[in-house]
Amino acid sequence: MKDTHMIQKGLFITVEGVDGAGKSTPLAWLTEQLKAIGHSVVLTREPGGTPLGERLRDLLLHEKMDLETETLLMFASRREHIAQVIVPALARGDILISDRFTDATYAYQGGGRGVSLTKIEQLEAWVQHDLQPDLTLLFDVPLEVAQARLAKGRDSLDKFEQESMDFFVRTREAYLARAAADPSRIAIIDSTGTFEHTRTQIRTALAQHLNMVI
């Protein structure tokens, strides 16, 4: 196992939100904006991000399994992701942007599924050591908006996207609780309105949290 303890040269940004929150377009825009001003950017995702992680992603999104098995596989994929992609990118001085990270596990498995937060915390400490994002952009919309976007924009839905409204209520509440507990890291982005409004909020978050102008 590679050690995640290191002198971090790069920046680690994560993007979070319930399914249908509207992350994809802003995520692509942010990546291109950072590249345009001269940064080396690595865009990745969870679960996934590595060949093994992508195989685990397919299982996690489509196979029924015990809730704790699901949580363990999330962290197995994450460990590989950290060792093979995240730590090397940060050591090179890149900006690493990940579409989801551990906040998603607290929200989906912890909030949505009801998996013990203590167990998630133990896995987080084991798998990540002291590695945490420098900034997390939490895209948030009313759940009715998210559900309408999913119904309109997807030909087929994975097992999470097919979950009940109650599941997403718990998941969103868990996300917002984490943002309230860690405002120095997590910036809530209201993605209900126009793309221009969303971009303005992202720019503000980067300026306030990372002293970065894009």
Residue 17 assigned ligand-binding role: yes
Question: What is the rounded distance in angstroms from the CA atom of residue 181 to the CA atom of residue 34?
Answer: 28
Would you say 21 is a known binding-site residue?
Answer: yes
Q: Which residue has the tokens 């904006």?
A: 33
Q: Is 23 annotated as a binding residue?
A: yes
How far from the centroid of its chain's Cα atoms is residue 105's Cα? 9
Is 19 assigned a ligand-binding role in the annotation?
yes
Q: How many residues does the chain have?
A: 214
Return d(Cα 187, Cα 185) in angstroms, integer.
Answer: 7
Residue 129 DSSP symbol: T
> What's the CA gap between 138 and 197, in Å, rounded?
15
As a dihedral over the C-alpha atoms of residue 185, residue 163, residue 193, residue 23, rounded to 10 degrees, the angle is 50
Kindly give, in sequence order, each residue whose CB lies less than 8 Å from that of residue 90, ignoring residues fewer than 6 positions away: 6, 8, 9, 10, 11, 12, 96
- Residue 20 annotated as binding site: yes
Query: Distance of CA 159 to CAs 76, 85, 103, 108, 144, Å?
Result: 19, 26, 19, 12, 18
Known binding residues are 17-24
Q: Which residues are annotated as a binding site for ATP?
A: 17-24
